[in-house]
């Protein structure tokens, strides 16, 4: 069940009120609630992360490891977004976190959602894993969930968390890792949005982070650096870095992770949530060319993996054959970097569509309606969208009637790596909601994007060109059906 900001407004306001003191205040720090980052942080805490878990993560896990009748443990439950989403299918869920305010928020959320099969526990950091082991014993848990957790751990904590999770599982149980950044991505897509930042040594990173435009990162690290460099190093880790296949090999003592990997992030739910990026394709090529000793799922820019604890000896063959993943892989020894196969097929399909609904070019500023943190001006051969904050958006020309299946081609120049999003409405659903949107990675410089819209779209499309302030240049937007 997804939460709708319109239909469930009363419930969401009650959840926000429950989280307001002290969870949201503590996590926003000096960031104003009404800033773009502040509003996004509130939305994430109140409903967006819950909806993402319910729409993508829960069905993905349920297909690989059926949740009915399962006893689950979530380490790092936070304010209970993912806890509540998984508890709707599991028999019982125990959530653990080191922050009492987060745990209290998780308890209140579960009560407001009518969930009676959830228990959330606040445990001091130095006793967290030992207390979990004491309560649950060894080999008694069906599934352990690490949802956006491991990237916030120190290296030692990360290894111990994975090892403890594995020990908790019964034979045949599953360790689920969701939304953890891969340290081998080129962009820091989690914390600073700066290229390579998450790969920097601490003493270099702490002299470089001022280049980010994310205010929460700046204030957090500035405050920690005033106390000591050691505290700043820890604060950087707590904000989030990344991990790779190495931690799993070390913590589990299993070199061939393919023998225990039952889902690798190339399943439909995760591809819809995290589309394949350019950096990921380059990393795929390196994995293939250098025969990296890890499954290709560890080449994804965000790690979403499910590992099954063996009931006996380790299998001698991978549970997910590489041949089953070839449709998602591009080897740039054979294919040009600027023309991946998937985009080429989409472009051919776009060109076959004969009905042009509308075209926006450099002289069509009047057909666009700026709505939030963006102004529009004419350039020589483009429209300049000047974004003043982290949540710019505008409205595209109205549609006269509901569309059948349609494709929109967007030629845009972006100031930085980010996410472009297109929201759509229907005759029955008039609000702009996450579940009625398409998200696509966008990179600094010129981008050619193809956005496939579902049938029944009507009204005005909303375009969020990116999540970073700066100048976006629109050369052409064309909608065909």
* pLDDT tens readout for residues 323-332: 888 888 876 5
Contacts (Cβ under 8 Å, ≥6 apart) of 125? 98
**Helix, strand or coil for residue 377?**
strand
Structure confidence at residue 467 (pLDDT) = 80
What does residue 469 show for φ and ψ, rounded to 5 degrees?
A: -70, 160
Residue 219 pLDDT greater than 80, yes or no: yes
Rounded-to-integer distance, Cα 410 and Cα 461, Å: 13
Which region among 64-78, 225-239, 333-347, 431-445 has the lowest average model confidence (pLDDT)? 333-347
| Cβ partners under 8 Å of residue 195, min gap 6 | 186, 187, 188, 417
Q: Do 119 and 17 belong together in one domain?
A: yes
Residue 445 and residue 359 share a domain: yes
- The residue segments making up the domain with residue 274 are 9-328
Alpha helices in 55-154 (DSSP H): 58-64, 81-87, 100-112, 128-136
Place of tokens 């993402």: 52
Q: Is 1 contained in some domain?
A: no
Q: Could you tell me which residues are beta bridge partners of residue 303?
A: 180
Same domain flag for 366 and 324: no
Alpha carbons 10 and 98: distance in angstroms, whole number: 29
User: What pLDDT is attached to residue 359?
Assistant: 86
State whether 300 and 389 are in the same domain. no
Number of domains in the chain: 2
In contact, 437 and 421? CB cutoff 8 Å? yes
Instruction: Specify the pLDDT at position 52.
Output: 92
Q: How far apart are CA 221 and CA 219, in angstroms?
A: 6
SS3 content of the chain, % helix, strand, coil (to 5): 40, 25, 35
Specify the DSSP element, H or E, that contains 269.
Answer: helix 268-273
CATH of the domain at 369: 2.60.120.260
- For residues 373 and 411, membership in a common domain is answered with yes
At residue 260 the predicted structure's pLDDT band, cuts being 50, 70 and 90, is very high
- Look at residue 263 in the predicted model and tell me its pLDDT: 98
Specify whether 277 is located in the same domain as 401: no
Q: What is the pLDDT of residue 159?
A: 98
The verdict on 222 and 298 lying in the same domain is yes
Q: Report pLDDT for 335.
A: 37
Percentage of residues in the chain with pLDDT exceeding 70? 92
Question: What is d(CA 52, CA 80) in angstroms, rounded to the nearest whole number?
Answer: 13
Residue 334 lies in a domain: no
Q: Domain for residue 441, yes or no?
A: yes
DSSP-derived letter for residue 476 is E
Q: Token pair for residue 478?
A: 């064309």
Of 296, 328, 360, the one marking the end of a domain is: 328
CA quadruple 68, 73, 74, 79: dihedral sign: positive
Same-domain status, 188 and 52: yes
Residues 183 and 269 in one domain: yes
Phi, psi of 63 (to 5 degrees): -75, -35
Q: Are residues 303 and 417 in the same domain?
A: no
Q: For residues 382 and 476, give the distance between their C-alpha atoms in angstroms, rounded to a whole number.
A: 7
Residue 4 lies in a domain: no
Write the pLDDT tens digit of every residue in 434-473. Answer: 888 888 877 778 888 888 888 888 888 999 998 888 899 9
Question: Residue 304 maps to which CATH number?
Answer: 3.40.50.150
Domain contains 44: yes
For residue 339, the model assigns a pLDDT of: 42
Same domain, 315 and 368: no
């Amino acid at each position: 069940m997804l939460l709708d900001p319109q239909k469930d407004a009363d419930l969401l306001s009650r959840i926000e009120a429950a989280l307001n003191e002290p969870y949201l205040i503590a996590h926003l720090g000096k960031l104003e609630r009404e800033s773009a980052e502040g509003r996004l942080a509130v939305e994430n805490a109140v409903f967006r992360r819950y909806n993402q878990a319910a729409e993508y993560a829960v069905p993905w896990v349920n297909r690989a490891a059926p949740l009915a009748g399962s006893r689950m443990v979530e380490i790092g439950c936070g304010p209970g977004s993912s806890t509540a989403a998984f508890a709707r299918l599991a028999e019982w869920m125990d959530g653990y976190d080191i922050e009492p305010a987060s745990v209290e928020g998780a308890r209140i959320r579960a009560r407001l959602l009518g969930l009676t099969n959830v228990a959330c526990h606040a445990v001091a950091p130095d006793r967290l894993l030992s207390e979990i082991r004491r309560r649950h014993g060894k080999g008694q848990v069906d599934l352990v969930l690490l949802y956006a957790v491991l990237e916030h751990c120190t290296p030692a904590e990360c290894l111990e968390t994975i090892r403890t999770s594995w020990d908790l599982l019964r034979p045949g149980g599953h360790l689920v890792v969701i939304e953890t950044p891969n340290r081998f991505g080129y962009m820091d897509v989690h914390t600073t949005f700066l290229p390579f930042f998450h790969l920097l040594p601490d003493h270099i990173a702490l002299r470089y982070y001022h280049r980010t435009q994310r205010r929460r990162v700046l204030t957090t690290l500035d405050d920690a650096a005033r106390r000591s460099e050691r505290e700043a190093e820890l604060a950087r880790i707590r904000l989030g870095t990344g991990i790779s296949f190495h931690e799993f090999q070390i913590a589990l003592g299993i070199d061939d992770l393919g023998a225990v990997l039952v889902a690798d992030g190339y399943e439909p739910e995760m591809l819809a949530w995290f589309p394949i990026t350019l950096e990921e394709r380059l990393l795929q090529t390196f994995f293939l060319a250098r025969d990296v000793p890890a499954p290709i799922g560890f080449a994804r820019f965000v790690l979403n993996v499910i590992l099954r604890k063996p009931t006996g000896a380790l299998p001698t063959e991978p549970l997910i054959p590489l041949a089953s993943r070839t449709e998602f892989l591009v080897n740039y020894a054979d294919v040009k970097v600027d023309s991946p196969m998937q985009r080429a097929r989409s472009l051919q399909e776009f060109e076959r569509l004969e009905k042009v609904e509308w075209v926006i070019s450099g002289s069509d500023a009047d057909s666009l309606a700026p709505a939030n943190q963006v102004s529009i001006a004419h350039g020589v051969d483009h429209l300049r969208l000047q974004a003043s904050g982290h949540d710019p958006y505008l409205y595209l020309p109205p549609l006269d009637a509901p569309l059948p299946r349609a494709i929109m081609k967007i030629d845009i120049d972006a100031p930085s790596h980010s996410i472009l999003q297109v929201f759509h409405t229907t005759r029955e659903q008039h609000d702009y909601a996450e579940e009625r949107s398409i998200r696509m990675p966008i990179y600094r410089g010129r981008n050619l994007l193809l956005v496939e819209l579902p049938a029944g779209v009507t009204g005005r499309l909303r375009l969020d060109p990116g999540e970073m302030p700066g100048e976006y240049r629109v050369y052409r937007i064309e909608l065909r059906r």
